[in-house]
Amino acid sequence: MAGYETGFRDLTEEVRDRDLPVEGNVPAWLDGSLYRNGPARWTVGDAEADHWFDGLAHLTKFAFDGGAVRYTNRFPRTDAYRAAVEDGSFAGQFSSTDGYLSRVKSMLAGDSTDNANVHVARIGGELVALTETPNWLRIDPETLERRGTLDYDDDLTTHHVTAHLRQDPDSGANWGYFTRFGRRNEYVLFRIPEGTTRRERVGSVRVEKPAYMHSFALTADHAVLVEPPLVTHPTKFLLPGAGGFIDNYDWEPSRGTRFLLFGRDSGELVRETTVPAFFTFHTANAFERERNDAAELVVDLVAYDDDSAVTDLSMNALRGGGAGFPSGELRRYRLPLDGEEPAHESLADGVEMPRFSPERHTREYEHVFAQSTEMDGGNALVRVDVGGDGGGERGVARRWEESGIFSGEPIFVPHPEGDAEADGVVLSLCLDTEAERSVLVVLDGDLTELARAPLPHAVPFGFHGEYFRD
Ligand SMILES: [Fe+2]
């Protein structure tokens, strides 16, 4: 795709609390801040990070106030940043051959990076930058500077951990899971009560060959791990010459993909369902419901046929313009809670980064917002309508696109007094490849553009973000 490589160019400029010019009207009720995270620098001198996911963590903040937008961006001065920028080398943090998940390998050896470049959350009253090791960073919400690593108020030993926490809409607790490697490998489900940094162990399951998992799903009654057959045996990490973390994972499709359902109250593994193999990074929403007099658990997620979505993201491929974003299928899995066979249906093709209204989390819902990868020379944003079991229309209902623009993850912010699920705005940090700068785009829930605010520079393609009300 032409212009695509612009999204992988190093950024070095940092600005603080800068007023952005706004075209159009940002709704005045939008009075919080959007924080985003992602890798934004891969080269220092002759040193280069190999994998997209290995770039230095870079945070952006968009503060909304009375229709105005103020912008701050910062590379938190992590140990990884200093090693790279001040010592002029990525060595010691990123292996030239290992790639992204080498972080976990390093951690098993007692030396893991603090390059938290995946997501953000609020934990213990603080803004936190997250990655897939437990080295999460406390971040100053104004300057985006690193305050330190997050100290957990517990004694859990964790190795690989999800950077996609799910906040329980009732209690405010952040739920997650981690994988602990050792003589006994296990997936451990945990929750962090609101206002604390304490990971409470909820439940666990022992596994012989742990899988690479990226996110999970929470419903009113269950937590659901989705375990693709991209598996390892951790003793492999410790062998000399074993390569990078992800190189130690094997795609074993004959195992199928397993859904592990934990009761939220009991912490027990209450159900286990295996379906034909697929890989996934991201779940959308999940919920229980009664349908045709039977109870089922619904999980919406973006599925891939195999693990190539992980392995195709080297910087060489991306900067050469030869690769594309992974293009998955938004799929609905229906897992009966009474012993019937699971089923799935396709909701949309060619999408990633699914988001939905946080007010509908764990409940039946109507709309998924996502990046679409169908457009040539840019990425559209789409709204996929996923209700309609009662006979309504399903599938891509709305699109927003513009030639030369690659959209970022669409973050939906509900109107505080809205009634309809789509009453709110979609915030997306997009890349204008012709102007070679980024632009924050504000759309309504029907994906009609309300406003845009151009940035002073191009922010490389990032990962995830959250909007927090002030
Ligand atoms: Fe993710």
| d(CA 457, ligand 1 centre) in Å | 24
| d(CA 465, ligand 1 centre) in Å | 10
341 Cβ contact partners less than 8 Å away, ≥ 6 residues apart: none
- What are the tokens at 55? 């770039």
Beta strands per DSSP E along 279-418: 279-291, 294-304, 328-336, 343-355, 367-372, 380-385, 395-400, 405-406, 411-414
Reported as type and span, the H/E element at residue 63 is strand 57-65
Quick one: pLDDT at residue 246? 65
Alpha carbon dihedral 250, 253, 255, 259, in 10-degree steps, equals 100
| d(CA 264, ligand 1 centre) in Å | 23
| d(CA 122, ligand 1 centre) in Å | 17
| d(CA 230, ligand 1 centre) in Å | 16
| d(CA 280, ligand 1 centre) in Å | 10
Quick one: pLDDT at residue 389? 64
| d(CA 354, ligand 1 centre) in Å | 10
Quick one: pLDDT at residue 84? 86
* Burial bucket for residue 196 (CB in 10 Å: 0-12, 13-18, 19+): middle
Quick one: pLDDT at residue 2? 56
pTM given for the model? 0.93
Reported as a single tens digit per residue, the pLDDT across 139-177 is: 999 999 999 999 999 999 888 899 999 999 999 999 999
| d(CA 119, ligand 1 centre) in Å | 7
| d(CA 215, ligand 1 centre) in Å | 7
Reported as type and span, the H/E element at residue 310 is helix 308-311
| d(CA 273, ligand 1 centre) in Å | 24
Greatest CA separation found in the chain?
A: 64
| d(CA 392, ligand 1 centre) in Å | 30
| d(CA 131, ligand 1 centre) in Å | 10
Quick one: pLDDT at residue 323? 56
| d(CA 121, ligand 1 centre) in Å | 13
Quick one: pLDDT at residue 97? 43
| d(CA 437, ligand 1 centre) in Å | 24
110 Cβ contact partners less than 8 Å away, ≥ 6 residues apart: none
| d(CA 353, ligand 1 centre) in Å | 7
Quick one: pLDDT at residue 381? 97
As a residue count, the chain comes to 470
Quick one: pLDDT at residue 391? 61
Quick one: pLDDT at residue 94? 36
Beta strands per DSSP E along 337-468: 343-355, 367-372, 380-385, 395-400, 405-406, 411-414, 424-432, 437-444, 449-454, 465-468
| d(CA 391, ligand 1 centre) in Å | 32
Q: What is the mean pLDDT of each run of 10 residues along the chain (470 residues)?
A: 80 97 98 97 84 88 98 95 80 41 52 84 97 93 96 92 96 96 92 98 96 96 98 70 65 97 97 97 97 93 91 68 72 93 95 96 97 82 86 86 94 96 98 96 98 98 93
